[in-house]
Amino acid sequence: MSIPKVFPIIEIPEFKINTIERFKKPSECNLDEACKYFYNRSLDGHHLCPKGFSSTIFTYSAKRYAIYGLIVHPRFDDQKQRLLSKKYTNNKTSIIEINEYTKSLREIEEERTKQILSGLEVFPQAFHELRKLNSLVLQKAEIEIGSGHNTKNMKAIKGAAELIRNNFDILEALSNIEGMKALPKDNSIKIFSLAFKMKRILEDLAHKKGMRISVEGDVEAELKGSSKSFPIILATLIENAIKYGRDNSDIDVTIIKNEKRIEILIENYSDENIDPERCFDRGIRFSEKEEGGGFGLFLAKEIVKIHGGNIKCIFNKPLVSMSIIFD
């Protein structure tokens, strides 16, 4: 959930700075090691930062933040702050304003929690009914294709229904990650066939952006896993490559197998500023142009871990490489 930007904010522990036009970013706020140590160790509340500014640390949507670079009245009894108050006359606010802001954030979270709890009461049944309806659409499309009726349109409908089914699987996995960990992993997953199936399902989505998906590599590569959760990995990574990839570019899926390991490599081109260290964090997004909650890569990483693998992102702009390795 994005945070309302009223004051200059630091995201902890990433130390990403969000500036606000109303306030000047002080040259002293360079986030050196002393600052990072202070923000990492301090509890929520009002503090005097190492540079002499007032800083309010708080938690919002399970993430920690700090309001920085301000002179908050009443001031701390500190010589540094007295000097900064004269230097940054426009960077002043009151403790009342700060408290109102953090209070409003708490109220937003409380309301959000209330709505989620309310939704959880009806979600399982609604989810079940939607799944059932989508299964009927998919079944009907397959029957029509098999009988040769209106094949072109039916294939489009079937593709859309399969895409919706993938999204249902992702939603279900997100809502019950612990349950997903308990799923039996005794199915033979033929990785090349699965990747090719995901290519077919997502091809129409890619074509809308002039993109092409290719699947190459070892056609015999397979491993033991959950046939319910494992497909989510490829569905999520390929769909992400489409959503955030460069128009009219290629998405290359390569399956590499040797005696000791299997690697799935997904490469595409993107003009977004992707942080390879943070891209798997829960709720992280690198573009406002596309819809999404920032949970796809987080979920993919969890499923890879459940299957005993490792996933990493390598970003040499514009090339994005997602490498999944199973030893």
pLDDT surpasses 80 at 227: yes
* Statement to judge: residues 255 and 300 lie in one domain: yes
| pTM for the predicted model, two decimal places | 0.54
Q: Quick one: 82 and 204 in the same domain?
A: no
The pLDDT tens digits for 56-79 are 999 887 788 999 999 999 999 999
Predicted pLDDT of residue 248 = 94
Q: 204 lies in a domain? A: yes
In this predicted model, what pLDDT tens digit does every residue of 103-115 receive, in sequence order? Answer: 998 888 888 777 7
Domain boundary among 151, 178, 205: 178
pLDDT number for residue 63: 81
Domain membership of residue 114 (yes or no) is: no
For residues 247 and 322, state if they share a domain: yes
Helix or strand (DSSP H, E) at 138: helix 95-147
Is the separation of the CB atoms in 269 and 252 below 8 Å? no
* Residue 147 included in any domain: yes
- Whole-number pLDDT of residue 212: 95
Residues 134 and 263 in one domain: no
Q: What gap in Å lies between CA 7 and CA 67, rounded to an integer?
A: 6
85 and 42 within one domain: yes
Which run of H or of E encompasses 301? Answer: helix 296-306
Check whether residue 189 and residue 276 sit in a common domain. Answer: yes
- Residue 45: the pLDDT is 94
Question: With the C-alpha atoms ordered 198, 200, 205, 211, is the resulting torsion angle positive or negative?
Answer: positive
Q: Count structural domains, the chain.
A: 3
**Shared domain check, 310 and 197:** yes
C-alpha dist (Å) from residue 84 to 27, 157, 173: 11, 64, 51
Per-residue pLDDT at 18: 85
CATH number at residue 298: 3.30.565.10
Residue 20's pLDDT band (cuts 50, 70, 90): confident
14 and 64 assigned to the same domain: yes
Domain termination site, one of 109, 128, 160: 109
Classify burial at 187, counting beta carbons within 10 Å of its beta carbon; exposed 0-12, middle 13-18, buried 19 or more.
middle
- In a domain, residue 3? The reply is no
In the predicted model, what is the mean pLDDT of residues 29-36? 91
Kindly state whether residues 17 and 142 are assigned to the same domain: no
Domain shared by 223 and 288, yes or no: yes
Taking CB atoms within 8 Å and a gap of at least 24, the contacts of 182-187 are 183/226, 183/228, 183/229, 184/226, 185/224, 185/225, 185/226, 185/306, 185/307, 186/224, 187/224, 187/225, 187/226, 187/227, 187/230
pLDDT in tens, 46-57: 999 999 999 999
Q: Quote the pLDDT of residue 183.
A: 76
Confirm whether 2 is domain-assigned: no
69 in any annotated domain: yes
Burial readout 263-277 (b: 16 or more C-beta within 10 A, e: otherwise): bbbbbbbbebebeee
At position 153, the amino acid (one-letter code) is N
Q: What is the mean pLDDT of the chain?
A: 85
Q: Is the pLDDT at 292 greater than 90, yes or no?
A: no
Q: Is residue 1 part of a domain?
A: no
92 and 174, same domain (yes or no): no
Domain boundary among 109, 139, 163: 109
- Both 82 and 66 in one domain: the answer is yes
Q: Is residue 98 part of a domain?
A: yes
Tell me which residue range forms the domain holding 91. 9-109
- Predicted confidence at residue 243, as pLDDT, reads 87
Confidence class for position 293, pLDDT limits 50, 70, 90: low
Among 49-53, 115-119, 137-141, 179-183, the range with the most confident prediction by mean pLDDT is 49-53
Structural element, H or E, at residue 6 = none
The amino acid occupying position 266 is I
